[in-house]
Structure 1
Amino acid sequence: MISRIATASLGLVLGGSSVFAQSLADAKKAIDAEQYQKAKSMLKNLTTTQADKDENFFYLGWVYLKQDYTDSAKTTFNKGIAVNSKSALNYAGLGAVARLDKDNAGATTNFNQAIALAGKNSKPYQYVGEAYLLPLTPDGKISPADANAAIAVLQKGKAVNAKDADLLITLGNAYRSQLKSNEAYQAYSDASTIDPKNPAAKVATGVLWKFANNFEDSEKQFQDALAIDPNYGPAYREWAETDNRWANTDPKMASTKIKQAVEEYKKYLSLTDVSVESQMRYADFLISAGQFPELQTVAADLAKSSKTNLRVYRYLGYAAYENKDYPAGVTALNTWMTKADPKRIMPRDYLYMGRLQMASGQDSVGINTLKKALELDTTQTEVYSEIAKSLYGQKKYAQAGDAYKLVTQKGGRNVKLTDYFYEGISYYFGYDPKNPSTDTLLTKADSAFSYVIQKTATSPYPDAFLYRARVNDLKEKDRNNIQGFAKPFYDKYIELITAKGAPDDRSKKNLAEAYVYLGNYYTFKEKDAAKATDSYTKARDNDPTNKQVQAYFAKQGGAGKSK
């Protein structure tokens, strides 16, 4: 169990920190290995024992940044500048904080200052580049503009020092974010040539292959990294992420690869510091892997810690929803969203809160929360469908029709023909014959059913014809002067259902409805009593309880009784 590992390992790391060499080089190596607690302990010591060295403050601030403590990072970078007003690295750090705070002007000013002060040192260029690659969106994608800005500054850094392997790896990451695989591979290859013992270059190459779904070669790169350094934790983390992607790509491998991914991530944790922060990274992985029972266990253990980061309530909320513990989920996410810095709230938080509220019977509140999620992240197209289904369930049919219209317009690849069908049904039920303003809903419904019929021409969908007939029947304003708008659609429905053989009970009632319509058509439009009686007889054969059938034959004196 992770919590037991955490308790044991954390004590060893923190309790034994005094035995580690207190050099900046060792602290930087710990950062690269994602041993952030170890690095933080060393750097805090260095900022005391070597308080005149601005680099110590920068790397401590960078650790805070990696752990999502931007306020602490900003304070530490400013301390570094207080030590050395020309500290290029600390200006790069302040730019990174400003960018995460969405202060574009502040980010640009600080980045420019960092580069102006860099001189022949390539490191400020590297970290300005890394700052541009810090993700600002929940999906972790880097915008082309940010990637191009990173590439531009990293190329300038490369001109300053073409032998900086870490800068080249960052350059490769910038290219990789934009799917420029050839350029990324060249940068990683150059880094490995310069520093063959750098496991980070191997891991980065493995990640490149992962996104190409070349999983076997990806794993070889992680194995090569571990051959260089068997204790290099990031290799196991990326291996876990790769196996998770493999599982999602190849259903036959899903079960095996998910299990392997979880074990690899636990190995990663054992090689880092198993701190609260690293366990939260594990929690993020469990969300992407869909391992919600394990997530709930990890989150519950984290919640017991006196040093708990508020973010644990996000994990508790997500896990509770997926595990159908809705009241606990609402409580947890409410704690997170009301107490956390607003800058830390993600669209996905609103998404889960909305789902939890609707699952708890708070449909109207939940829909508004889901709409907030959509405002913040329009790529969450499945949310449109959730809103539509909820409105339909509440019998707010006109609103549901509009919501399904949004599904069909904005749902992208997630759109199904059933979405068009429910768009039509919603508008159909939203029509009120006593309210002329709802007449437009019939036109919208007819259009939706027409689309379904068109797209299922080779394999017709009977209910689309049934509902299109019902819509067109409602357009008949004078029942005694029937025009026959619905006739072709009821005819087609009868043809499709009878071709299948003996109908079920539901189809029998629908067939009776269709034959009753035809009976009325032949009575009032064609004035053909024989065809009218034949249609009503077929209606009665399918549903003798139909009230219109009973009324017709009562007028006929019981003629044409079914046998």
Structure 2
Amino acid sequence: MNKLKIFSIALLSIAGISHAQDMEQAKKAIDAEQYDKAKGMLKGILQSKPSNGRAAYLLGNIYLKLNVPDSAKIFFDKGVLASEGSKLNYAGLGQLELDKGNTAAAQANFANATKDLKKKDTEELVAVGKAYTNSDKPDYKAALTFLNKAKTANPNDAQVLLALGDAYYKDKNQNDAYTAYRDALMADNTMIRAKMQQGVLLKGARAFNEAVKSLNEVVASNASYGPVYRELAETYYLWGVNEPKKYTENIQKALAYYEKYMSMTDYSLDSRMRHADFLILAKDYKALEAEAEKMKQLDKVNPRILRYLGYSAYENGNVDVAIKSLEDFIANPSNKVIARDYLYLGQAKLKKANATGTVDATLFTAGVADLRKSVEMEITMSSDLSDVGKKFFADKKYKEAAAIFEIAMMNPDSKTYNDDILYYAIAVNTVNAKLDVAQRDKAALQKANAGLDAILAKYPTYQDAYYYKARLFSTLEDGVSMVKAYEDYIRVLTEKGAEELAKPANKSKLTESYNTIAANYADTDKAKAIEYFNKTLALDPANAYATESLKTLKR
């Protein structure tokens, strides 16, 4: 019996060592972003030892990274019942509550995660700090509170320092982030992610050349570390976006590095989805369509594939497939819908609504609603709308153009903000000027005027803003404000000198300004009216309206 007991203890000891080794290998696979490989290892550990709460926590976190919250919750719920490492899973459940905006429920879970910790315990504190950092509704200050407690408990724990670096970086504190990553690397010189993150900081600071150099140093030290190629891809992508002259060259480099990254992962459905997300950024829609088809072969029912099919179908000209795919994706309550989903759905509906040349009003209205929802979810989506509005404007579909520019105007930080306001003002005025006074949309006209005021607050010498304000006031039948705006236009243009005055477009607008001011004074101040009609004739001696009006005034 004694021999049997010794043999059993030896077997348990060997099994424990094996599980510990498997856990370390799973952590390395997670760090290398080989999530399918890590999932397989962790599920194997849980199958042989269901009481391993750390394995459940790591599995749940993988599903959080992959935006599959239902699966994450299944493993966290199992993990809290485990006999070891159970508290970590409360941190995972807390993050799920944070993602849903349930702060009180999240804090209750975090309290369970950190209850009765020993002086040197840091694992649970780091888990809570990461939950606050990585949530869809992050709280970086709260994350730093927990992580600094962990640092106080163990100042040389590399994992603590790495998590601190991530929280500082996302909180836009570059200096403290760099210090934390440097200290993590000093604490553990094998922690290649900390070294990589130093390059990521440079990318975030838009020091692209230096970022590439730093990331290539990581490649030189460990060429088999996959995530560094993803960071290189993203750096070259951002470099291309920020320096349009190098866009094509840098996007090609970005795509090549992402292919390299893919070769370092497992070509699983999850990694293909990350690749698809990058192809969307790089606007390589042919490759996206091919990737979506490969994903469909791997898993015909995965809902995210509908997103990629929808995006690529729209870009490749098949709006019906785009609308069907994206509507099916959005209709599934378990899917994590993002702003870009509504952006593509809205654009697809608009394209179909305008397919025959006669706008389908119902479909167009539905598309505009989707675009608005997209921009409300994420304001930067507005940058895609200016060109859409200009297409309708060029087709003289001013009502439709105004509806699109109104949404684009929601983002005052957009590069096209001034243009969007100007186009909106012109479109709104063009539509309303043709209507009877009682039918005019005064709210839209006033909104357009307020937009032009916003431009003038920044650029007081932008003459066209005054010109279009005058036209809006004319439609609003506010003669006093109209004359003032035309006078401001004339003043600003005149101050810019003869060269600007001589431009044909400005000459035409000046003539209109003089004639309209003159007409406004015709019944109340004949001398003023004559003065302005004479200014018209000095500019355009053959102007029939000014000539005939002067004859009438002098009778």
The normalised TM-score by structure 2 is: 0.77
- Quick one: which amino acid aligns to residue 97 of structure 1? L
Measured after TM superposition, the shift of residue 55 of structure 1 is 1.8
- For 1:513-524, what aligned pairs fall within 5 Å after superposition? none
Matched residue, 1:346: 338
* 1:222-259 Cα distance to aligned partner (Å, 9 max, x none): 23333443211111111111111111222333222211
Map 1:454-493; keep pairs closer than 5 Å. 460-461=463-464, 465=467, 468=470, 471-472=473-474, 475=477
Alignment of 1:304-453 (within 5 A): 304-306=297-299, 308-341=301-334, 344-361=336-353, 362-378=363-379, 380-382=381-383, 396=399, 400=402, 411-414=412-415, 416-426=417-427, 428-429=429-430, 430-431=432-433, 432-435=435-438
Tell me the CA shift for residue 379 of structure 1.
5.4
Number of the residue aligned with 2:155? 162
Q: Displacement, 1:128?
A: 1.4
Q: Could you say what secondary structure the match of 1:83 adopts?
A: coil
Counterparts in 2 of 1:542 and 1:45: CA distance versus 1, 3 Å: farther
**After the TM superposition, which residues 86-485 of structure 1 pair with which residues of structure 2 at under 5 Å, given as runs?**
87-119=86-118, 120-136=120-136, 142=138, 146-306=139-299, 308-341=301-334, 344-361=336-353, 362-378=363-379, 380-382=381-383, 396=399, 400=402, 411-414=412-415, 416-426=417-427, 428-429=429-430, 430-431=432-433, 432-435=435-438, 460-461=463-464, 465=467, 468=470, 471-472=473-474, 475=477
Moved more, 82-91 or 422-431: 422-431
Listed one character per residue, the Cα deviations across residues 292-332 of structure 1 (whole Å, up to 9, x for unaligned) are 33223222332333355211211222233344432222122
Q: 1:391 to 1:266 in 2, by over 3 A?
A: closer
Structure 2 CA distance, aligned partners of 1:162 and 1:535? 80
Aligned-pair CA distance for 1:388: 7.6
What is the rounded CA distance, in whole Å, between the counterparts of 1:244 and 1:270 in structure 2? 19
- 2 CA distance for matches of 1:411 and 1:84? 54
What is the distance in 2 between the residues matched to 1:502 and 1:43? 73
Equivalent-residue separation in structure 2 for 1:33 and 1:236 (angstroms): 11
Q: Distance in 2 between matches of 1:150 and 1:222?
A: 27
Does the 8 Å CA contact 2:469/2:485 hold for their aligned counterparts?
A: no
Is the partner of 2:179 in helix, strand or coil? helix
User: How many angstroms apart in 2 are the aligned matches of 1:528 and 1:204?
Assistant: 70
C-alpha distance in structure 2 between counterparts of 1:535 and 1:42, whole Å? 85
**C-alpha deviation, 1:85, in angstroms:** 7.7
Q: Find the residue that maps to 2:134 and give its secondary structure.
A: coil
- Give 1:166 shift: 1.8
Unpaired stretches in structure 1, ≥5 consecutive residues:
1-19, 478-482, 556-563
CA contact under 8 A between 2:518 and 2:529: conserved in structure 1?
A: no
Structure 2 distance, partners of 1:532, 1:190, is 75
Q: Which of 1 and 2 has higher RCO (CA within 8 Å, sep 6+)?
A: 1
2:9 is matched with none
- What do the CA deviations read for 1:498-525 (whole angstroms, capped 9, x no partner)? 9866959x98799599769858977996
CA distance in 2 between partners of 1:536 and 1:211 (Å)? 56
Which residue number corresponds to residue 60 of structure 1? 59
Contact 2:98 2:135 in 1 (8 A): no
Q: Identify unmatched segments of 5+ residues in structure 2.
A: 1-18, 354-362
Say whether the 8 Å CA contact 1:151–1:174 is kept in structure 2: yes
SS at match of 1:29: helix
- Cα distance in 2, alignment partners of residues 288 and 159 from structure 1: 40
Distance 1:421 1:47 in 2: 62
CA-to-aligned-CA distance 1:20-42 (integer Å, 9 cap, x gap): 99711111111111111111111
Displacement of 1:487 after TM fit? 8.7
Q: Secondary structure at the residue paired with 1:204?
A: helix
Kept in 2: contact 1:370–1:387 (CA 8 A): no
Q: Distance in 2 between matches of 1:529 and 1:166?
A: 80
Distance 1:373 1:487, change over 3 A: closer
| CA apart distance, 1:181 | 1.5
Q: Which segment is superposed worse, 185-194 or 424-433?
A: 424-433
**Alpha-carbon distance, 1:214 to partner:** 2.3
Instruction: Tell me which residue corresponds to 1:4.
Output: none
Q: 1:181 to 1:502 in 2, by over 3 A?
A: closer
Q: Which secondary structure state, in structure 1, belongs to the residue aligned with residue 303 of structure 2?
A: coil
Residue type of the alignment partner of 1:280: M
- Which amino acid in 2 is paired with 1:101? K
Shift of 1:352: 2.2
Give the distance between the partners of 2:350 and 2:488, measured in 1 at CA: 37
Alpha-carbon distance change, 375 to 469 in structure 1, aligned in 2, over 3 angstroms: closer
1:438 positional shift: 6.2
For the pair 1:70 / 2:69, whether they are aligned, the reply is yes
Quote the Cα distance in structure 2 between the aligned partners of 1:306 and 1:443.
52
The answer to whether the Cα contact below 8 Å between 2:60 and 2:92 also exists between their aligned partners in 1 is yes
SS of the equivalent of 1:304 reads helix
1 CA distance for matches of 2:512 and 2:440? 31
Corresponding residue for residue 82 of structure 2 = 83
**If the length of structure 1 is used for normalisation, what is the TM-score?**
0.76
Distance 1:72 1:236 in 2: 29
CA distance in 1, matches of 2:375, 2:58: 37
**What is the alpha-carbon distance in structure 2 between the residues aligned to residue 62 and residue 470 of structure 1?**
56
The 8 Å contact of residues 472 and 486 in structure 1, kept in 2 or not, is answered as no
Is the alpha carbon distance of 1:525 and 1:332 closer, same or farther for their aligned partners in structure 2, counting shifts above 3 Å?
same
C-alpha distance in 1, partners of 2:214/2:486?
Answer: 67
What amino acid sits opposite 2:343 in the alignment?
L
| 217-226 or 423-432: bigger deviation | 423-432
Q: Distance in 2 between matches of 1:248 and 1:94?
A: 38
Kindly tell me: are residues 269 and 424 of structure 1, through their superposed partners in 2, closer, same or farther at Cα, counting changes over 3 Å?
closer
Q: Secondary structure at the match of 1:23?
A: helix
1:207 & 1:532 partners in 2: Cα distance? 63
Q: Say if 1:118 and 1:125, in contact at 8 Å, map to a contact too.
A: no
In 2: Cα distance, 1:86 partner to 1:476 partner:
73
Larger displacement relative to structure 2 (122-131 or 211-220): 211-220
Q: Is the 8 A contact 1:494 1:511 kept in 2?
A: no
Matched AA of 1:310: P
